[in-house]
């Protein structure tokens, strides 16, 4: 048994770290402030094939494996959570079509998604429906060669710039189904949601469908399997990406806390010499290592197509996001008053970390599912 | 191990307190959820090196050991 990563992954981490430092990190603070991802970030991600990491070479992607995906989401998420959000939802869109799309749908969307020419997003949540996904109220009614969508989607990451969406609606009564909807579809309005606590450059929005007319060929997967297969496939990927992003934020908190505690002099000595600071650093180091190992475990299981990868992804996301909460709080505390100032990054990491305990399954939903999986077996 | 035995062994992880008959409807046993459905598809794809497409997405194809075996053998 060898838990060490192959050298090729260490080289890949060096490559992504360098990319992130040069092309993502310098823009992250401004993106957060402006609540907008600058186009050069999207262009840089696209040029390296990072914008949809899982896309196979057949569709113009790099076909990164899931260990490489851990590294990508960690290194880029550590610089900017909103950029990682873009990779997450674009990947969810791409994977949903890759797995459940028709050949025509794959031809139409996958090359552009891999190249960053189109941005895809995932539209499941509604104003009154979050965790209870099967209670969605959006409807899709057949009419000649079209489906007519009516309803309201909320909290849709990257909605402000997305070109296309996977949208979930009830069809033929209460049978849920997935549909691919282009932004310019007749009857679709996109409204931005701004001034959120964290991940402020994720360009979140609402989708309002008012007799929105889409061709019948937009159906993704089969009617009745929208949530059970399409949504769960996409959400499993999203959960994995977010877990890895949490490790990235945590690592950035540690790096900046170590640097600060060496430089900050109080009582004539660097604060790193205080044992209470050392305790916080120790907790960070160990929890980051444990989170990373859980993500890598899920990645290897995914690469081996193991059914257990799904639960291990839940475990990884739960651990990484809940431990991150402590790590960001400690990072702010180590920075003292500077920690709550926008001059330092840790206040942004603190705000961004909160979002990760809500999206792709709240912490409490994780607690229900993880415990139920053990108790029911 | 033959296909039927592999399917029975996999389902046994989820239905530990119940011996499933080959023609028994597993959806009627009440333990099935979306997570199980996704894991079942992954298991079939990995174990038997087949791809499940949209046309295979039918509850009838997965409702019993007999039906799952029939689906797998039709794709091998």
Q: Which CATH superfamily hosts domain B3-75? A: ACP-like (1.10.1200.10)
Total-model pTM: 0.94
Over residues B1-57, the pLDDT tens digits come to 699 999 998 888 887 777 889 999 888 877 667 788 888 889 999 999 998 888 888
Q: Which band of pLDDT confidence, cut at 50, 70 and 90, is reported for residue A86?
A: very high
Q: What are the boundaries of each domain within chain B?
A: 3-75
What confidence score (pLDDT) does residue B19 get? 83
CB contact under 8 A, A232 and B34: yes
Q: Which band of pLDDT confidence, cut at 50, 70 and 90, is reported for residue A76?
A: very high
Question: What 8-state DSSP symbol labels residue A270?
Answer: E
* Mean of per-residue pLDDT scores for chain A: 96
Span between the terminal Cα atoms of chain B, in Å: 15
DSSP structure string for A202-251: S--EEEEEEEEEEEGGGEES-TT-IIIIIIHHHHHHHHHHHHHHHHHHHH
Contact (CB, 8 A) for A330 and A277: no
Q: What are the boundaries of each domain within chain A?
A: 7-115, 120-223, 227-375
Mutation pick from B10, B39, B40, B54 vs chain A, by most beta carbons of A within 10 Å, is: B54
Mutation pick from B38, B40, B49, B63 vs chain A, by most beta carbons of A within 10 Å, is: B38
What confidence score (pLDDT) does residue A280 get? 98
Size (chain A), residues? 377
What confidence score (pLDDT) does residue A278 get? 98
CA distance B46 to chain A (A): 6
Tell me the fold of A7-115. Butyryl-Coa Dehydrogenase, subunit A; domain 1 (1.10.540)
Mutation pick from B11, B16, B35 vs chain A, by most beta carbons of A within 10 Å, is: B35
Q: Give the whole-angstrom CA distance, residue A222 versus residue A142.
A: 14
CB contact under 8 A, B42 and A306: yes
* Chain A residues within an 8 Å CB radius of B38: 228-229, 232-233, 236, 307, 310
pLDDT at A377 > cutoff 70: no
CB contact under 8 A, B14 and A225: no
Q: Which CATH architecture has domain A120-223?
A: Beta Barrel (2.40)
* Chain A residues within an 8 Å CB radius of B10: 307
CATH number of A227-375: 1.20.140.10
Q: For tokens 């199980």, name the residue.
A: B36
Q: For tokens 């170590």, name the residue.
A: A258
Contact partners, residue A179, CB within 8 Å, separation at least 6: A140, A147, A149, A166, A167, A168, A169, A214, A218, A219, A220
Nearest to A261 by CA among A253, A271, A252: A271
Q: Which band of pLDDT confidence, cut at 50, 70 and 90, is reported for residue A202?
A: very high
pLDDT at A60 > cutoff 80: yes
Q: How far is CA B43 from CA A302, B10, B68, in A?
A: 12, 8, 11
The reply to whether ipTM tops 0.85 is no
**Is A4 in a helix, a strand, or coil?**
coil
- For the segment A217-232, the average pLDDT, to the nearest whole number, is 94
Q: Which two tokens stand for residue A323?
A: 């431990």
- For the segment A116-124, the average pLDDT, to the nearest whole number, is 98
* Chain A residues within an 8 Å CB radius of B46: 304-307
CB contact under 8 A, A310 and B39: yes
- For the segment A133-146, the average pLDDT, to the nearest whole number, is 95
Q: Which band of pLDDT confidence, cut at 50, 70 and 90, is reported for residue A281?
A: very high
CA distance B32 to chain A (A): 11
How far is CA A50 from its chain centroid? Answer: 13
DSSP structure string for A284-325: HHHHHHHHHHHHHHHHHHHHTT-THHHHHHHHHHHHHHHHHH
Q: Give the whole-angstrom CA distance, residue A298 versus residue A195.
A: 34
What confidence score (pLDDT) does residue B31 get? 63
Contact (CB, 8 A) for B44 and B72: yes
- For the segment A339-348, the average pLDDT, to the nearest whole number, is 97
Nearest to A86 by CA among A61, A115, A60, A121: A121
Among A102, A229, A373, the residue with its CB nearest the CB of B38 is A229
């Amino acid at each position: 048994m060898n838990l060490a990563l192959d050298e090729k992954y260490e080289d890949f981490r060096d490559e992504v770290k360098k990319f992130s430092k040069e092309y993502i990190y310098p823009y992250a603070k401004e993106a957060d402030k402006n609540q907008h991802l600058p186009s050069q970030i999207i262009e840089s991600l696209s040029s390296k094939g990072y914008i949809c990491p899982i896309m196979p070479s057949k569709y113009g992607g790099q076909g990164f494996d899931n260990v490489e995906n851990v590294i990508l989401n960690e290194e880029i998420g550590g610089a900017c959570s909103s950029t990682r959000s873009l990779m997450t939802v674009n990947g969810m869109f791409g994977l949903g079509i890759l797995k459940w799309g028709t050949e025509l749908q794959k031809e139409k969307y996958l090359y552009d998604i891999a190249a960053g020419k189109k941005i895809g997003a995932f539209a499941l949540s509604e104003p009154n429906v979050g965790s209870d996904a099967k209670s969605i109220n959006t409807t899709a009614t057949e009419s000649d060669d079209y489906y007519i969508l009516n309803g309201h989607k909320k909290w849709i990451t990257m909605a402000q710039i997305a070109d296309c969406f996977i949208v979930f609606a009830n069809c033929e009564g209460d049978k849920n189904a997935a549909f691919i909807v282009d932004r310019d579809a007749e009857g679709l309005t996109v409204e931005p949601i701004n001034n959120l606590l964290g991940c402020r450059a994720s360009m979140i929005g609402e989708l309002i469908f008012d007799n929105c007319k889409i061709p019948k060929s937009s159906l993704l997967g089969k009617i009745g399997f929208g949530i059970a297969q399409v949504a769960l496939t996409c959400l499993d990927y999203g959960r994995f990406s977010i877990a890895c992003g949490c490790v990235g934020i945590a690592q950035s908190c540690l790096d900046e806390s170590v640097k600060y505690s060496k430089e900050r002099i109080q009582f004539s000595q660097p604060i790193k010499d205080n044992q209470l600071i050392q305790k916080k650093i120790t907790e960070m180091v160990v929890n980051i290592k444990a989170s990373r190992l859980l993500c890598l475990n899920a990645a290897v299981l995914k690469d081996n197509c193991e059914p257990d990868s799904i639960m291990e992804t839940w475990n990884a996301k739960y651990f990484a996001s809940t431990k991150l909460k402590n790590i960001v709080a400690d990072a702010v505390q180590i920075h003292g008053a500077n920690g709550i100032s926008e001059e330092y990054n840790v206040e942004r990491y603190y705000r961004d970390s909160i979002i990760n305990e809500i999206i792709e399954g709240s912490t409490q939903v994780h607690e229900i599912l993880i415990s139920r999986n053990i108790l029911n077996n | 191990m033959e296909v039927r035995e592999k399917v029975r062994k996999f389902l046994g992880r989820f239905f530990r307190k119940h011996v499933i008959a080959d023609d028994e409807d597993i959806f009627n046993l009440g333990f099935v959820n979306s997570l199980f459905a996704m894991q079942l598809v992954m298991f079939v794809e990995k174990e038997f090196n087949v791809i499940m497409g949209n046309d295979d997405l039918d509850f009838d194809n997965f409702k019993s050991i007999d039906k799952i075996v029939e689906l797998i053998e039709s794709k091998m």
